[in-house]
């Protein structure tokens, strides 16, 4: 019902008025995106989607054959005696 009434009212408007309505709609859409983007991604998606996003991020990391030495992984090299 409201949709039909709004359509009828829009039909009565001139170009300048329609431009103002279009600007207002764009502003509302912008605000909605701002609110949406203020929520951290990890809170707005499911665990499965988070895992997928993480895998995609990892796949974009540079691929090198460099690795830490065995000594770097050694517990003894981490803690002083």
Q: pLDDT at position 36, please?
A: 64
Q: Give the C-alpha distances (Å, rounded to integers) separating 59 from 36, 41, 52.
A: 26, 19, 11
Over the stretch 9-67, which tens digit does the pLDDT of each residue have? 999 999 999 999 999 999 998 888 776 667 777 777 899 999 998 999 999 988 888 88
Q: pLDDT at position 37, please?
A: 66
Q: pLDDT at position 31, please?
A: 84
Helix (H) or strand (E) holding 7: helix 2-11
Long-range contacts of range 37-46, CB-CB < 8 Å, 24 or more positions apart? none
End-to-end CA gap in the chain: 78
Contacts of 36 (CB under 8 A, 6+ apart): 44
Q: pLDDT at position 35, please?
A: 65
Closest CA to 17 of 67, 65, 25, 34: 25
Q: pLDDT at position 40, please?
A: 77
**pLDDT surpasses 70 at 6:** yes
């Amino acid at each position: 019902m409201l949709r039909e009434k709004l359509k009828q009212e829009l039909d009565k408007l001139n170009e300048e008025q329609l431009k103002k309505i279009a600007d207002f709609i764009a502003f509302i859409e912008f605000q909605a995106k701002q609110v949406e983007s203020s929520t951290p991604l990890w809170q707005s998606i499911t665990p499965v989607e988070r895992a997928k996003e993480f895998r995609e991020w990892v796949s974009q990391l540079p691929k090198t054959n460099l690795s830490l030495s065995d000594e770097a992984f050694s517990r003894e090299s981490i803690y002083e005696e």
